[in-house]
Structure 1
């Protein structure tokens, strides 16, 4: 899908203000409300927008521990990767899982209620491929720069 200036503006605004009304969005991008709604629906249908999520302030809701893990598999087969990916997806506390290049194979972000639960998840992930998984855990002390959206202007300026 080709993104013109208006669609780029819609994406930028929705990324920062997902709860904006269609009327306000239309005013900000210079379209009628019906045209704006049609654009948003087309962007959703093309898979460029969604799902809609809320950023929660977990520290104000409950106690938790956040752990960043790097994972290396000794078995580099497709089956081993699929087994580990499936295990990571099966635990709701694994909130992000990336397959990456470099010195390790996966990057995980795990959020658990306490270290005991994190240790249980760690043990379950190690047991997926006994003796074949190495997990290095890094407890997050402070999130200095939380994710607040992609730098669309910088990323898209080369495509025009």
Structure 2
């Protein structure tokens, strides 16, 4: 799908203000409300936006520990990667999982209620491929810059 300037503006606004009314969005991008809603629906149908999520302030809700984990597999086979990916996906506390290049194979972000639960998850991930998984854990002390959306204007130029 080709994105013109108006569609890129819609995407930029929606990723920061998902609850904006269609009327306000239309006003800000210079479209009629019906044209704006039509564009948003086309962006959704094309899979460019959605699902819609809310950012919650977890420390105000409960105690938790956030751990960034780098994972290296000794077995570099496709089957080993798929097995580990399935194990990571099976834990709801693994809130992000990336396969990456470089000195390790996976990057995980795990949010657990406490270190005891984190250690259980850690042990379960190690047991997926016994003796073949190396985990390096990094407890998050402070989030300096949380994810708040992609810098679309910096990533896209008129040729995208």
TM-score range, shorter chain: over 0.9
Shift of 1:157: 1.8
Is 1:84 the equivalent of 2:84? yes
Q: Deviations over 1:62-113 (max 9, x none)?
A: 0000000000000000000000000000000000000000000000000000
For 1:65, the equivalent position in structure 2 comes to: 65
For 1:74, the equivalent position in structure 2 comes to: 74
Flag structure 1 segments of 5+ consecutive residues without an equivalent.
none
Aligned positions of 1:99-114 closer than 5 A: 99-114=99-114
For 1:3, the equivalent position in structure 2 comes to: 3
TM-score (norm 1): 0.99
Aligned positions of 1:1-160 closer than 5 A: 1-157=1-157, 159-160=159-160
Flag structure 2 segments of 5+ consecutive residues without an equivalent.
none
Alignment RMSD (CA, Å): 0.7
TM-score (norm 2): 0.99
Kindly tell me the number of residue pairs found equivalent between the two proteins: 160
The SS at the match of 2:136 is strand
Shift of 1:159: 2.9
The SS at the match of 2:156 is helix
Taking the aligned partners of 1:138 and 1:98, their CA distance within structure 2 comes to 16
Taking the aligned partners of 1:88 and 1:43, their CA distance within structure 2 comes to 30
Taking the aligned partners of 2:14 and 2:156, their CA distance within structure 1 comes to 16
The SS at the match of 1:104 is coil
Taking the aligned partners of 2:60 and 2:12, their CA distance within structure 1 comes to 28
